[in-house]
Amino acid sequence: MKRSLLGALLLAVSPLPAGAANLVKTYSYFSIDGSTLDDIEMQLSKRGPEVKSTGGRHPGATQMAFTTRISYAQTSKSCRIADAVVTVKVKVILPEWRRPRKADADVRLFWDTLSADIKRHEERHVEIARNHGRELEDALKATYPQRNCEAAKAKAAEITAAVLARHDQDQLRFDRVESVNFESRILRLLRYRTERIENGRLPPPA
């Protein structure tokens, strides 16, 4: 299987500050069929979620919508952020193989390994976003009072932009590392699963 099978991040950021102290997560699945590795690869390329940033389809994706609710406290001399609540809504899109009876055991084993790795990859995207959401919420709450609420809002926007930029960089860095290690990782996982099946610790692929 080619490295193009690696899941990709699909990031949809709302105009407001973003984060993940609160997480709302849903799952969506798309069906694929086929009885060989080539069939599966073709189906993933044809039916996988389309990622606007790459212009192509991927075997998995995570859509994210970030929102922030900020309240301000104003006095005659200053304005401060009284509270900030950050929420991220994510939709994890994963493949579901309609497994034919004639599929070889090796193909079933590979699919079990690959699908588990795709899910792990997308869940890590969610974790990265949530961590940066906590960072954003903490940073907003820790800001010093500003001369007025317009200045406080500008400070909140500055902090948000900086945290989201780091978030985007971390997501892209994660994808680059995963892409480089894809083939060696899948082979290692296949060996591990095979050993566990042979030792009776895992049932053979159904």
- Residue 114 domain-assigned (yes or no): yes
Residue 9's domain spans which residues?
A: 3-198
* pTM attached to this predicted model: 0.79
In the chain, the percentage of residues whose pLDDT exceeds 70 is: 82
- Residue 176 domain-assigned (yes or no): yes
Answer with the residue of higher pLDDT: 131 or 101.
131
- Residue 204 domain-assigned (yes or no): no
* β partners of residue 10: 63
User: pLDDT at position 17, please?
Assistant: 37
Query: Within a 10 A sphere around the Cβ of 7, how many other Cβ atoms?
Result: 27
- Residue 44 domain-assigned (yes or no): yes
- Rg of the Cα trace of the chain? 22
Average pLDDT, the chain: 82
pLDDT tier, 5 (very low <50, low <70, confident <90, very high otherwise): very low
Q: Are 120 and 55 in contact (CB under 8 A)?
A: no
H-helix or E-strand spanning residue 30:
strand 22-32
- Residue 203 domain-assigned (yes or no): no
Average the pLDDT over 55-82 and give the result: 89
Average the pLDDT over 20-38 and give the result: 87
- Residue 206 domain-assigned (yes or no): no
pLDDT surpasses 80 at 1: no
pLDDT surpasses 50 at 8: no
How many domains in the chain?
1
Distance CA 149, CA 122 (A): 38
Average the pLDDT over 65-82 and give the result: 93
pLDDT tier, 105 (very low <50, low <70, confident <90, very high otherwise): confident
- Residue 32 domain-assigned (yes or no): yes
- Residue 109 domain-assigned (yes or no): yes
Average the pLDDT over 74-81 and give the result: 94
